[in-house]
Chain A
Amino acid sequence: MLDFRFSSLLKAVLLLACLLAAFEYLSKADKLNEELAELKARAETARETADLRRKEWTEINEAKAKLEQMTTHMENLIRQRDILDTQERRLTGEIKYLAESMTAVVVKARTAATGTVIPELLLEGRTTLHNAKIFKINEDSISFLHEDGVANLHVKAEEIPIEFIKKYDLGSDSIIRRLKHLVSEMRKSSLEK
């Protein structure tokens, strides 16, 4: 019927096939390229949106972490304040107790010393007192009645022998004064709180 080896119909069909193949290639390639371009644009938008949300989420997380860190720090400071409160209460109690007991002992010692007679009281840079009787003991001074009259010796003027200062806890550097100073400091501290 048809001579396929050399027929012009076959050549025409082949040529048509070539043309169709070329057309298909070009049209499909165009379509795919178009699709690709559109997809690229959408992917870019999606990436930008994702980046934006990521940034927002990071900001939220950072704020959360900062707040948590602050809360922890705050808890530590409150704990420290509580420890200081306890320490202050304990210290106030101990100091008050020691100051009170010390005051009682000092007053007792000073009262007990009144009337004591010292046959010969050697004083640095002054005449010796004979039969010096302790008349009164204050925080900074001791008054003596002696053969030649009355002597009022002061710690500040360094007139009183060191053993008297220690024995009756006299002077500005006395234990009782320092304890009283600590008591007033503790009171101030609790008022400042």
Chain B
Amino acid sequence: MARKLRSRPFKIKSLQVAAGGDHFPLIHMKPHVFLCCLALCLTSLSCERRAELKREIAALTASFKQDEALTRQYEKDIAAVEGKEFLNRSLQQAEIKQDQLRTLEFINAPRERKLSAIEAEFATLKPAAEAFKAAHHK
């Protein structure tokens, strides 16, 4: 039986048909050569797939580490300004300031208009008054 196998080339019928004859090189391989090739192919495939997975894992690890570093940095920055407390305090202060601003705007704007009107009136009265005074000082 062993002798028989040794002497006979390893044939795959379907491949033979697909190749269109008996002269396709792979088909006439000896069984141990075929097995060697298969083992090499599987090893190569395994290596390739592993390399691909490792690349993916490396990329994900890098992204994960970057996100973790970012989180740490943000947490550090937030802690430095006292985080939520600062935010609440800022919002409260903003509300108080908004009221103060409204009051100041409410006072300043009409006051400015009134002073401008008085100044304009005074600017017309002053020369007339000066002329009157000059006329009566003669």
What is the interface of chain A, defined by CB distance below 8 A to chain B?
Answer: 5-6, 8, 10-11, 14-15, 17-18, 21-22, 24-25, 28-29, 32-33, 35-36, 39-40, 42-43, 46-47, 49-50, 53-54, 56-57, 59-60, 63-64, 66-67, 70-71, 73-74, 77-78, 80-81, 84, 87-88, 91, 94-95, 98, 101-102, 105-106, 108-109, 169, 175, 178-179, 182, 185-186, 189, 192-193
A40 to chain B: which residues have CB within 8 Å? 60
Indicate whether B119 reaches chain A with its CB closer than 8 angstroms: yes
State the interface size on chain B (CB cutoff 8 A). 63
**A50 and B71 form a contact (CB under 8 A):** yes
Q: How far is it, in angstroms, between the C-alpha of A17 and the C-alpha of B46 when the chains are bound? A: 13
**B67 and A43 form a contact (CB under 8 A):** yes
Q: How far is it, in angstroms, between the C-alpha of A105 and the C-alpha of B133 when the chains are bound? A: 6
Binary contact readout B60-99 vs A (1 if CB under 8 angstroms, 0 otherwise) = 1101100110110011011001010011001101100110
Pick from A50, A77, A169, A192: contact of B70, CB under 8 Å: A50
Q: How far is it, in angstroms, between the C-alpha of A60 and the C-alpha of B75 when the chains are bound? A: 12
**Contact A18 to B42, CB < 8 A, known contacts A74-B97, A95-B122:** yes
A-B contact pairs, 25 of them (CB 8 A): A6-B2, A6-B6, A10-B32, A11-B31, A14-B35, A22-B42, A32-B50, A32-B53, A35-B57, A39-B57, A40-B60, A43-B60, A49-B71, A50-B71, A53-B75, A53-B78, A56-B74, A59-B87, A77-B108, A84-B112, A91-B115, A98-B125, A105-B132, A106-B132, A193-B111
**B125 and A179 form a contact (CB under 8 A):** yes
| A-B pairs under 8 A by CB, number | 178
The 6 A-B pairs with the shortest beta carbon distances in the complex, nearest first, are A25-B46, A53-B74, A14-B35, A63-B90, A46-B67, A32-B53
Pick from A15, A50, A74, A94: contact of B67, CB under 8 Å: A50
Binary contact readout B88-130 vs A (1 if CB under 8 angstroms, 0 otherwise) = 0011011001101100110110011011001101100110110
What's the minimum C-beta distance from B25 to chain A, rounded to whole angstroms? Answer: 19
Q: How far is it, in angstroms, between the C-alpha of A136 and the C-alpha of B98 when the chains are bound? A: 60
